Structure 1
Amino acid sequence: MSLINTEIKPFKATAFKGGKFIDVSDADLKGKWSVVFFYPADFTFVCPTELEDLADNYSEFQKLGVEIYSVSTDTHFCHKAWHDTSPAIGKIAYTMVGDPTGTICRNFEILIEEKGLADRGTFVVDPDGKIQIIEITAGGIGRDARELLRKVKAAQYVASHPGEVCPAKWEEGEKTLAPSLDLVGKI
């Protein structure tokens, strides 16, 4: 079953953000757009490149009212140690959520049970707490924050413009489509 348009499940966790440990729950994702960015583990290879890319683009997400939550099965203590020792991870200003029990990973159906690690998965959650975008890649394939930003803009556009949809490669300000009988077979 697809998680698209389903409401996120309840969770509570401890996270590292801004030099502090904070509590995070599903309620924090509601009322605004959120990106939940799962990755396998701290102190690894592809993961820091992705998280740094998100950090470098974080201000662009914030301009759109989007909060980012990176999640792995590491603890919040491990997130702090990684933040304190890696120049790439030290750039991160968004929330780094610890999920050592795998509860959040299971909620989003992204946990690799036999390894106790998350798959590389991205979920965009709307202000109602419903999942609007899902992207899952194999462990060796890194994601692109600019492409995610484009997808978030498209999701926000569609949410605020009922009856319009964004075609492939749509960029902000470009033409959208209004699905109708007149378009059938003409695209």
Structure 2
Amino acid sequence: MSLINTEIKPFKAQAFKGGKFFEVSDADLKGKWSVVFFYPADFTFVCPTELEDLADNYAEFQKLGVEIYSVSTDTHFAHKAWHDSSEAIKKIQYTMVGDPTGLVTRNFGVMIEEVGLADRGTFVIDPDGKIQIVEINAGGIGRDASELLRKVKAAQYVAAHPNEVCPAKWKEGEKTLEPSLDLVGKI
């Protein structure tokens, strides 16, 4: 079953950001655009490259009013220890959510049950708490924050312009399409 246009399920979890621990819940993801970025584990190989890439692009997401939440089945304590010991992870200014029970990971359908770790799942959530983009990669395939940024801009554009759609490779400022009978078979 597709998660597109479904509302996020309720959750509460402990998180780490800016040297502090705090609780985060589904309510924190509503009222603004959010990216929930699942990864398998702290202190690994591909994961720090992805999280550093997000950290390097975080200001661009913030300019769009987008908050980022990275999530793994590690604890918020492990997130702090990783943050304190890794140059790549020290760059992170977004929220790192601990999900040791796997509730959040299961809510989004990305739990690898046999190992208790998350798939590389990316979810873009609109201000109403509905999932607009889902991307799941195999464990060895890292994601690209600039491509995610492009997709977020497209999702925001379509939300603001409900009679238009963004074609393949669309970038901000480029021409969109207005679906109509006149376009059928002419693209």
Q: TM-score range by the shorter chain?
A: over 0.9
* Counterpart position of 2:115: 115
Separation (CA, whole Å) in 2 of partners of 1:99 and 1:65? 25
SS of the residue aligned with 1:179? coil
How many residue pairs align between the two structures? 187
Separation (CA, whole Å) in 2 of partners of 1:162 and 1:156? 10
* Counterpart position of 2:55: 55
Give the deviation of 1:162 after TM superposition.
Answer: 1.0
- Listed as ranges, the matches of 1:10-159 within 5 Å are 10-159=10-159
Give the deviation of 1:131 after TM superposition.
Answer: 0.1
SS of the residue aligned with 1:62? helix
Separation (CA, whole Å) in 2 of partners of 1:78 and 1:186? 54
CA deviation string 1:101-123 (max 9, x = no partner):
00000000000011000000100
Separation (CA, whole Å) in 2 of partners of 1:99 and 1:133? 21
Separation (CA, whole Å) in 1 of partners of 2:49 and 2:121? 15
Separation (CA, whole Å) in 2 of partners of 1:17 and 1:80? 8
Give the deviation of 1:16 after TM superposition.
Answer: 0.2
Separation (CA, whole Å) in 1 of partners of 2:24 and 2:4? 22
Separation (CA, whole Å) in 2 of partners of 1:155 and 1:165? 9
SS of the residue aligned with 1:122? strand
SS of the residue aligned with 2:87? coil
- Consecutive unaligned residues of structure 2, counting only runs of 5 or more, are none
In percent, how many aligned pairs have the same letter? Answer: 87
Alignment of 1:7 with 2:7, yes or no, is yes
SS of the residue aligned with 1:128? coil
Give the deviation of 1:180 after TM superposition.
Answer: 0.3
CA deviation string 1:66-107 (max 9, x = no partner):
000000000000000000000000000000000000000000
Give the deviation of 1:25 after TM superposition.
Answer: 0.0
One-letter identity of the residue aligned with 1:150: R
SS of the residue aligned with 1:88? helix
One-letter identity of the residue aligned with 1:80: K
Separation (CA, whole Å) in 1 of partners of 2:172 and 2:15? 33
**TM superposition outliers: structure 1 runs of 4+ over 2 Å:** none
CA deviation string 1:5-52 (max 9, x = no partner):
000000000000000001100000000000000000000000000000
What RMSD over aligned residues (CA atoms) do the two structures have, in Å?
0.2
